[in-house]
């Protein structure tokens, strides 16, 4: 049985992440796409998924709708995007209205751990740099399998780790949730195979993480400044690194975790 304390912790984690992604901070680093690799890596996910114009696609954590809009424009598919942020969902809806895509793209408030859809609804489920942020990955993987059609595909791109992260470092970096919540490639494969997906396909895109770290340094001057602005964006300036050691903490995090980035896809048996 899940304790009230655990539920409250999960709620606070999701609220914190939502506030950060609603802020202008993420735009400053990543723009509309909110993730390493940008739209070019999205195109690769679409290619692996074999998107076509009669597919219905679910995008988990759609943000401002850049990916959903791109997929519909480029591949002709219908797309539903979900996000925890009402603000971002509103912006995404305005985007597709301007682009005359409202008849093919829709956005809903939704949680990746409790998908508001019927069984076997989607031909493809896509998640870009968001699955690692979900506190209950077992629940999310079950939900993703449930809403995917037999013969459909799951395609994700996300942070990967090849080492163990100490609790000391996990507790010191506010924005480490995408890293401290990441799995090894084998971990992702086992998680999704456990719920019934098969035919795992993996591509390494770790260079995108290096580019992201460089973008942070160029945009903010240091990891300390980035961390400080993340805290301010979250409304919790007391969290995060202290005593000017944030750069050392981030370096330790990357060294311990051996951080990478990968595309992983699966098929749901037909």
Number of neighbouring beta carbons within 10 Å of residue 13: 15
Q: Quick: pLDDT tens for 128-153.
A: 999 998 989 999 999 999 999 999 99
Residues 6+ positions from 242 with CB-CB distance below 8 Å: none
State percent of the chain over pLDDT 90: 55
Averaged pLDDT score across all residues of the chain: 83
Give the span between the Cα atoms of 105 and 88, in whole angstroms.
Answer: 15
SS3 letters for 185-246? Answer: HHHHHHHHHHCCCEEEEEEECCHHHHHHHHHHHHHHCCHHHHHHHHHHHHCCCCCCCCCCCH
pLDDT of residue 258: 79
- Residues 80, 94, 18, 8: is their CA dihedral positive or negative? negative
Q: Quick: pLDDT tens for 194-247.
A: 999 999 999 999 988 878 777 777 777 776 777 677 667 656 654 444 445 556
Give the span between the Cα atoms of 82 and 230, in whole angstroms.
Answer: 23
- pTM reported for the whole predicted model: 0.84
Q: Quick: pLDDT tens for 67-78.
A: 999 999 999 999
b/e per residue 181-217 (b: at least 16 CB within 10 A): bbbbbeebbebbeebebeebeeeebbebbeebeeebe
Is it true that domain 4-267 has CATH number 1.10.15.40?
no
Residues 6+ positions from 130 with CB-CB distance below 8 Å: 35, 60, 61, 112, 158
Strand segments (E) across 85-144: 105-109, 122-128
> Would you list the domain boundaries of the chain?
4-267
Q: Quick: pLDDT tens for 47-88.
A: 999 999 999 999 999 999 999 999 999 999 999 999 999 999
């Amino acid at each position: 049985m899940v304790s009230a304390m655990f539920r409250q912790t999960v709620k606070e984690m999701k609220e914190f992440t939502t506030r950060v992604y609603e802020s202008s901070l993420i735009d400053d680093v990543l723009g509309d796409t909110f993730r390493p690799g940008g739209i070019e890596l999205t195109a690769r996910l679409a290619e692996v998924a074999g998107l076509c114009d009669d597919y219905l696609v679910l995008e988990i954590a759609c943000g401002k709708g850049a990916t959903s809009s791109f997929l519909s424009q480029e591949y002709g598919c219908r797309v539903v995007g979900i996000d925890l942020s009402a603000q971002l969902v509103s912006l995404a809806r305005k985007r597709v209205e301007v682009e005359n895509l409202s008849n093919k793209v829709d956005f809903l408030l939704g949680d990746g751990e409790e998908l508001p859809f019927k069984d076997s609804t989607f031909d493809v489920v896509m998640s870009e740099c968001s699955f690692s942020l979900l506190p209950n990955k077992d629940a999310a993987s079950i939900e993703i399998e449930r809403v995917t059609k037999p013969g459909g595909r799951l395609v994700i791109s996300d942070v990967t780790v090849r080492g163990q992260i100490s609790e000391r470092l996990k507790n010191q970096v506010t924005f480490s949730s995408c890293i401290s919540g990441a799995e090894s490639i084998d971990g992702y494969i086992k998680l999704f195979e456990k719920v019934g997906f098969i035919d795992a396909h993996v591509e390494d895109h770790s260079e995108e993480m290096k580019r992201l770290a460089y973008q942070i340094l160029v945009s903010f001057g240091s990891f300390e400044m980035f961390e400080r602005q993340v805290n301010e964006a979250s409304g919790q300036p007391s969290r995060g690194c202290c005593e000017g050691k944030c750069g050392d903490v981030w370096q330790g995090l990357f060294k311990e975790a051996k951080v990478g980035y990968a595309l992983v896809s699966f098929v749901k048996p037909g």
